[in-house]
Structure 1
Amino acid sequence: MTELRKYFPHLAGLVFSSIFGFSFLFTKEGLELMSPFHLLGFRFAIAFISLSILRITGIININLKGKNLKKLILLAFFQPGIYFICETTGMLYTTSSEAGMMIALIPVAVTILAALILNEKPTFIQSIFVGLSVGGAFFIIFNRGAAPIASNYFGLLLLGGAVIAAGFYNIISRQLSLEFRPVEITYVMMGFGALIFNIIAIYRKNFELSNYFDLLLEKDVLISVIYLGVFSSVVAFFMMNYTLSKITAAESAVFANLTTVVSIIAGVVFRNEPFFKFQVVGAVLIIIGVWGTNYFGRPVVEKGEEIYEKV
């Protein structure tokens, strides 16, 4: 049993990266049944309720007294706020495969923003891999003109906004990590998302609450929001933190890349989404670039939340 334990972190990594990879599929499925804000409202409400139950039962400990809540709210404004608005709305106009490829660029965005805001200059070889990832994304965009999905540039633009928002989230969370534990940050994020997205969804329904929760009676809706709220936002979170506490950040970058691969396979296999040769080339460039950006990054960059932002 002791021998097997050394493989537990990698097994946990496979689990959470697979959960994150399939989250794009379930988001796409959910968007076919309800509006983006309705889906987000249900997702974060279930996640917040799940974490609250864990808090009440003493499984997790949340202590926010005397801490910098203003900056934590600013963090939540970027993630889940702007990030999930851009990601979920963007997926209305793209495939789950493309969403997985674009979101994979988050570590690259973090590296670029860290250089601009924190003056953490990337190494020369790291800059090469950053350029490789960005080049892969542009390769996909520029080649869309010859494909049947050419009209969906707006979706890619929104996903790009999600990537930038996640980059800012990582920069702020790195500072807050000195004061808050990851579970505390996640708890506030889930609560913020549940409050804001449900308010927006109810407003868009002209505050008519009579049938607001009726969608939860539909099996497919319930499956989507439970997967996104419980598995993607709670189970994967604990698996991810366990993995990151046991292996190096460079090793963890492999699981970030696996998330992208799983999202592509899930979209093609389960939703019969088209996947063209130029997307294969772009995906390979992005994955190699993300791996190199993480592997050759400075320790403080490597130790960032390059996977944590998908929670």
Structure 2
Amino acid sequence: MTPFHLLGFRFAIAFIALSILRFIGIININLKAKNLKKLFLLALFQPGIYFICETTGMLYTTSSEAGMMIALIPVAVTILAALILNERPTFIQSIFVALSVGGVFFIIFNRGASPIEGNYLGLLLLGGAVIAAGFYNIISRQLSLEFKPVEITYVMMGFGAFLFNTIALSQNNFDLSSYFNLLTNRVVLITVLYLGLFSSVVAFFMMNYTLSKITAAESAVFANLTTVVSIAAGVVFRNEPFFKFQVVGAVLIIIGVWGTNYFGRPVVEEGEKIYEKV
């Protein structure tokens, strides 16, 4: 499958699943008289720009390298949160964010002594995904005061389904027969169902919900665990090489994620707004 074909199926399944839940009354979506322009801006960054950059970048890198780059998201989020949301991390949180990022760079720097070869076009594209993810975290945090997490997720899935299927169909000369024939392949069907239902609906809902409860930096640092998961998945499912330095880096990342959230400033909800305890 082409990258956009896969993304088109993934987000279409996600949007259809949420629409069914909305139709039978399990979830409630109310977008009237709300800031839809900003919500669509969020959807442009995530899934739009993010997945265009990430999926294309994956064509030129290993899943391990992709995990390393995506783990830089907390850096972008921490900087943007401080500038835009005035959510400045405490000193000790900054240390643990740096420790987590240090684990990522430890893996990257030691890569030169291993058979893992970098492709700079892929890394550049993944860098674009990092920036897009940073803005997504910030905007989702802002919109959490006006929209429910499921409403943000619903619009994101609908936007992704429209955007990626439009691109994929144009690449396929709008041949609907061959376009949908791939769904008869068992492996393809299982893959897109997993990506659509779990990696899209469930994961993005949990991300949007988390961003409504804790600061953007505390939420984003969990992205560093992507490195750990990606390394493990690359080894198990794609027979990619595994090295001792990756274990050291993974330990640093996990400690950094724990410390950033353990020493975070507690927050409480009051009405529809979130305040820091003073």
2:195 to 212, 228, 233: 228
Mark the CA change 1:191 to 1:68 in structure 2 (over 3 Å): closer, same or farther.
same
Post-superposition offset of 1:241:
8.0
- 1:58 alignment partner, SS class: coil
- 2:176 alignment partner, SS class: coil
Q: Which moved more, 1:159-168 or 1:223-232?
A: 159-168
Matching residue of 1:95: 62
Paired AA for residue 164 in structure 2: F
- 1:213 alignment partner, SS class: helix
1:136 to 78, 103, 112: 103
Q: Output one character per residue of 1:241-292: Cα deviation in whole Å (capped at 9) or x when no partner.
A: 8999999x99989976666544332221222111223333333333322332
1:267 corresponds to 2:234: yes
Matching residue of 1:290: 257
Distance 1:165 1:70 in 2: 17
Mark the CA change 1:161 to 1:280 in structure 2 (over 3 Å): closer, same or farther.
farther
Matching residue of 1:25: none
Post-superposition offset of 1:115:
1.5
Matching residue of 2:125: 158
2:41 to 58, 67, 74: 74
Post-superposition offset of 1:296:
2.6
The structure whose RCO (Cα within 8 Å, separation 6+) is larger is 1
Whether the 8 Å CA contact 1:113–1:167 is kept in 2: the answer is yes
TM-score calculated relative to the size of structure 1: 0.75
Matching residue of 1:200: 167
Post-superposition offset of 1:102:
3.6
Q: Which moved more, 1:123-132 or 1:64-73?
A: 123-132
Whether the 8 Å CA contact 1:108–1:133 is kept in 2: the answer is no
Matching residue of 1:86: 53
Give structure 2 stretches of 5+ with no counterpart: 268-278
Matching residue of 2:271: none
Distance 1:146 1:49 in 2: 46
Mark the CA change 1:194 to 1:271 in structure 2 (over 3 Å): closer, same or farther.
same
1:281 corresponds to 2:225: no
Matching residue of 2:10: 43
User: What value does the CA root-mean-square deviation take over the aligned residues?
Assistant: 3.1
Post-superposition offset of 1:37:
0.7
Q: Which moved more, 1:184-193 or 1:253-262?
A: 253-262
Distance 1:123 1:252 in 2: 15
Whether the 8 Å CA contact 1:253–1:291 is kept in 2: the answer is no
Distance 2:39 2:211 in 1: 22
Post-superposition offset of 1:127:
1.9
Matching residue of 1:147: 114
Whether the 8 Å CA contact 1:104–1:286 is kept in 2: the answer is no
Q: Output one character per residue of 1:192-227: Cα deviation in whole Å (capped at 9) or x when no partner.
A: 000001111112223333311111111111111011
Distance 1:170 1:272 in 2: 33
1:181 to 136, 145, 148: 148
1:119 to 86, 95, 98: 86
Mark the CA change 1:136 to 1:158 in structure 2 (over 3 Å): closer, same or farther.
farther
Whether the 8 Å CA contact 2:29–2:150 is kept in 1: the answer is yes
Q: State how many pairs are aligned.
A: 267
Matching residue of 1:11: none
Whether the 8 Å CA contact 2:78–2:217 is kept in 1: the answer is no
Give structure 1 stretches of 5+ with no counterpart: 1-33, 301-311
Mark the CA change 1:196 to 1:66 in structure 2 (over 3 Å): closer, same or farther.
same
Distance 1:155 1:73 in 2: 27
Distance 1:156 1:106 in 2: 14
TM-score calculated relative to the size of structure 2: 0.83
1:214 corresponds to 2:177: no
- 1:89 alignment partner, SS class: helix
Mark the CA change 1:152 to 1:291 in structure 2 (over 3 Å): closer, same or farther.
farther
